[in-house]
Amino acid sequence: MSDGQTMLKTGTSTVGITFNGGVVVGADHRATMGHFIANKSVQKLFQIGENLALTTAGLVGHAQSLSRTLSAEVALFQLKRQQQMTVKGAATLTANILVGRPHWVQLLIVGVDDEGSHVYSIDSAGGSIPDVYCATGSGSPYMYGVLEDGFKENMSEADALKLAARALHASGQRDAASGNGMDLSVITKKDGYRQLSQDEISKLLK
């Protein structure tokens, strides 16, 4: 790690799941340097708008820079237009930033708007792919086993939260680059963005 945190890589597990009325989004806490656990409390889940969230996998410095840029751009859009940016708009903005200046990251842009609930996976070269659920990072193969077994169209918020917690827990058990707890948030059209407390997450895992 020669330049602060800019060279710190996160193996990472992040997940986004749509449900009837909103979206659940989460990420683990672990950052690694090769086989060494460099940090156990890295933030990989960021609120970037009242209706939008970002998850990051990759270089910590690039992830933090992108979260600041996107938060500012979303706030400026809302100030100018007097309306929230759509999830597709946020995903397109993010993809355009990465096309102009590639970052060593893999991202999820998730949120809700007038058209419903959305999850977009965005690669380091600016590719943007929508889906009803998605997992990223080194722990994603373990999460997809849980997600493909448990996901249902128009599932409830409670079921989506349990599924996300179970998927992140599974990756933390099997992927050496993921773990040390998780952050979970839920976004709905009615209530906007809400991050769960660690007590709430513990109850989901029980």
Active-site residue flag, 55 = no
The backbone torsions φ and ψ at residue 178, rounded to the nearest 5 degrees and listed phi first, read -125, 155
d(CA 2, CA 20): 45
Catalytic residue among 10, 12, 18, 188: 12
The answer to whether 167 and 15 are in contact (CB under 8 A) is: yes
The answer to whether 19 and 187 are in contact (CB under 8 A) is: no
Q: What is the largest CA-CA distance in the chain?
A: 47
The backbone torsions φ and ψ at residue 45, rounded to the nearest 5 degrees and listed phi first, read -120, 125
The backbone torsions φ and ψ at residue 176, rounded to the nearest 5 degrees and listed phi first, read -65, -20
Active site members: 12
